[in-house]
Amino acid sequence: MDRFTAPPYRIKMIEPIKQTTLQERKESLEKAYNNLFLLPSEAVYIDLLTDSGTGAMSHYQWAALMQGDESYAGSRSFYRLEETVKEITGYKYMIPVHQGRGAEQVVLPLLAKHSDMYFISNMHFDTTRAHVELAGATAIDCVVDECFDIDTFSPFKGNMNVEKCEAYIKDLGRENIAGIIMTMTNNSAGGQPVSLENLRYVYALTQKYDIPLIMDGARFAENACFIKQREKGYDKHEIKDIAREMFDHADIFLMSAKKDALVNIGGLIVIKKDVEFFRECQGRTVPYEGFPTYGGLAGRDMEAMAVGLKEGLEEDYLIHRLDQVRYLSEKLRKAGVPVQYPAGGHAVFVDCKNMCSHIPFDQFPAQSVCNALYLEAGVRTVEVGSFLLGRDPKTGKNIESPFEWMRLAIPRRTYTYAHLDHVAEGVISVYMKRKELKGLYFEYEPKVLRHFMAKLKYV
Ligand SMILES: *Cc1c(COP(=O)(O)O)cnc(C)c1O
């Protein structure tokens, strides 16, 4: 399938971006202490740091912004968003929040009812894990083994290992499991999808043991499109019907709207039918996020989200979206660059452990590759490996990550195939020079979330 669809939209407003010279990039990187998070965005030509909140809105969304009702309570924009969310999910109750982690800080502590509880997930996203731990609970990841075999095609590498999950429930005791979290698509595994078959098994398990199933569904629409493309029996289904079937197999839906809702800010808590739990969430939303009819958002943000949620489910958009990611991935694979295969829904992951085996894990090989790509092509990416993982709190030693990834996240509706050609050429040039790359060490290391503010030097 080597055809890649053209975008189902045309450009009517542009934001200029500028390529810099190699000399300018060297100076910028030095001033940023060799940490791409510390670069001003103007020093970047193509920004693949994240796909979160970085997409382009449609003219329908911009028009909707003008209709925002900024009333503190009972905003018309809230009701419009609520109606859309109910229609898409079939759930009864909705609370807007400022972004995904806002939903997590409201919901997860309410589920961790006593100390020493566990959440089991196919894979916790990093803010989700942080909120599980802040709630005094433990996060267990339970993804299928195929996820770790990066060269072999498998259609649903984001799936939960159901046998292992049930073994954990029996082992730890049902009363100690606060919830089962299905991350769809599985962000930390490279945006790999979860099948409906797998979700059905997991949902049956949660019903058998009476445990709530939480869908962490920032990319639920991309997941639904993968189901249509890859799962037996779904090729004739409409995306919105597949998404609806996904929601039927969960109890609570948490969403960072900065992904598939095609907005720059926003999030959602959606509850299928438990009115008691909804009331508890509403109560906690007030001090943390805001009154439950705005939850930290402006009325106009809710308008744009209501439109974006529907556009995010349009099939021609989704096919092009997944094609863009696959296009970049295939280009790199053809040139011999080791990447997670098949590509996920929002990003291409380059295996830098394999690429730079001469750099030890505690000199952060993937960070070295990210920096080299910036110097080569003005492209910003992010390290997902031992630099991000940090130290063992008990021993103070650097933890070795199983993977050293350079993640190239593709913003939605933002770049063209020509931009991706430029990115691919940059990555391939760096790949050719991989043996010359050097490791890094800390000039300054923050105590928590070190990757954001760290200052690095080359060995
Ligand atoms: C982005 C994301 C979050 C957190 O959302 P924010 O909007 O960044 O706070 C949670 N879970 C998943 C799966 C995500 O991709």
Please compute the mean of the pLDDT values over residues 56-65 and round it to a whole number.
98
What spacing in Å lies between the alpha carbon of 359 and ligand 1's midpoint?
A: 31
| Residues 101 and 45 occupy one common structural domain | no
Give the ranges where 312-416 is alpha helix by DSSP (H). Answer: 315-334, 352-355, 365-377, 386-389
| Residues 402 and 419 occupy one common structural domain | yes
- Whether 232 is covered by a domain: the verdict is yes
The pLDDT tens digits for 200-223 are: 999 999 999 999 999 999 999 999
- Active site positions, annotated: 72, 125-126, 216, 218, 259, 451
Question: Residue whose CA is closest, atom 5 of ligand 1?
Answer: 100
**Last residue in a domain, options 243, 278, 311:** 311
How high is the mean pLDDT of the chain?
96
Sign of CA dihedral 351, 357, 358, 364: positive
What spacing in Å lies between the alpha carbon of 61 and ligand 1's midpoint?
A: 21
Question: Residue whose CA is closest, atom 6 of ligand 1?
Answer: 100
pLDDT at 1: 53
Tell me the CATH number at 204. 3.40.640.10
Q: Cis link prior to 128 (omega < 30° from 0)?
A: no
Question: Ligand 1 within 6 A of 218 CB?
Answer: yes
Q: What is the pTM of this model?
A: 0.96
pLDDT at 449: 83
Say how far apart CA 145 and CA 292 lie, in whole Å. Answer: 41
Question: Ligand 1 within 6 A of 128 CB?
Answer: yes
Q: What is the number of domains present in the chain?
A: 2
> What does the block give as tokens for 172?
């730890």
CB-based contact 383:451 (threshold 8 Å): yes
- Kindly tell me if the per-residue pLDDT of 2 is higher than 80: no
| Residues 284 and 329 occupy one common structural domain | no
pLDDT at 355: 95
| Residues 305 and 363 occupy one common structural domain | no
| Residues 191 and 286 occupy one common structural domain | yes
Question: Ligand 1 within 6 A of 183 CB?
Answer: yes
Q: Where are the beta strands (DSSP E) in 200-297?
A: 213-216, 252-256, 267-271
Say how far apart CA 304 and CA 126 lie, in whole Å. Answer: 26
The pLDDT tens digits for 288-308 are: 999 999 999 999 999 999 999
Domain that holds residue 89: 59-311
What spacing in Å lies between the alpha carbon of 259 and ligand 1's midpoint?
A: 8
Q: Cis link prior to 342 (omega < 30° from 0)?
A: yes
**Last residue in a domain, options 285, 311, 337:** 311
| Residues 77 and 220 occupy one common structural domain | yes
The pLDDT tens digits for 270-292 are: 999 999 999 999 999 999 999 99
Question: Ligand 1 within 6 A of 256 CB?
Answer: yes
- Kindly tell me if the per-residue pLDDT of 190 is higher than 90: no
| Residues 255 and 223 occupy one common structural domain | yes
Please compute the mean of the pLDDT values over residues 384-394 and round it to a whole number.
89
What spacing in Å lies between the alpha carbon of 199 and ligand 1's midpoint?
A: 20
| Residues 85 and 47 occupy one common structural domain | no
What spacing in Å lies between the alpha carbon of 126 and ligand 1's midpoint?
A: 8
Question: Ligand 1 within 6 A of 52 CB?
Answer: yes
| Residues 158 and 296 occupy one common structural domain | yes
**Last residue in a domain, options 311, 346, 366:** 311
CA nearest neighbour of 62 among 280, 307, 227 = 307
- Whether 1 is covered by a domain: the verdict is no
- Whether 16 is covered by a domain: the verdict is no
Say how far apart CA 96 and CA 94 lie, in whole Å. Answer: 7
What spacing in Å lies between the alpha carbon of 109 and ligand 1's midpoint?
A: 17
Sign of CA dihedral 303, 306, 312, 317: negative
Please compute the mean of the pLDDT values over residues 326-342 and round it to a whole number.
96
Question: Residue whose CA is closest, atom 14 of ligand 1?
Answer: 218
- Kindly tell me if the per-residue pLDDT of 316 is higher than 80: yes
Question: Ligand 1 within 6 A of 419 CB?
Answer: no
| Residues 356 and 295 occupy one common structural domain | no
The pLDDT tens digits for 84-125 are: 999 999 999 999 999 999 999 999 999 999 989 999 999 999
pLDDT at 189: 80
Please compute the mean of the pLDDT values over residues 65-78 and round it to a whole number.
97
**3-class secondary-structure state, position 155:** coil
Please compute the mean of the pLDDT values over residues 334-340 and round it to a whole number.
96
Say how far apart CA 102 and CA 72 lie, in whole Å. Answer: 19
Centre a 10 Å sphere on the Cβ of residue 100 and count the other Cβ atoms it contains.
25
pLDDT at 239: 98
Question: Residue whose CA is closest, atom 11 of ligand 1?
Answer: 125
Say how far apart CA 311 and CA 9 lie, in whole Å. Answer: 12
Backbone angles phi, psi at 368, to 5 degrees: -65, -40
Tell me the CATH number at 405. 3.90.1150.10
> What does the block give as tokens for 43?
């020093």
| Residues 341 and 451 occupy one common structural domain | yes
The pLDDT tens digits for 139-174 are: 999 999 999 888 899 999 999 999 999 999 999 999
CB-based contact 123:161 (threshold 8 Å): no
- Whether 185 is covered by a domain: the verdict is yes
| 408 beta partners | 348
- Whether 219 is covered by a domain: the verdict is yes
Question: Ligand 1 within 6 A of 243 CB?
Answer: no
- Whether 96 is covered by a domain: the verdict is yes
| Residues 229 and 127 occupy one common structural domain | yes
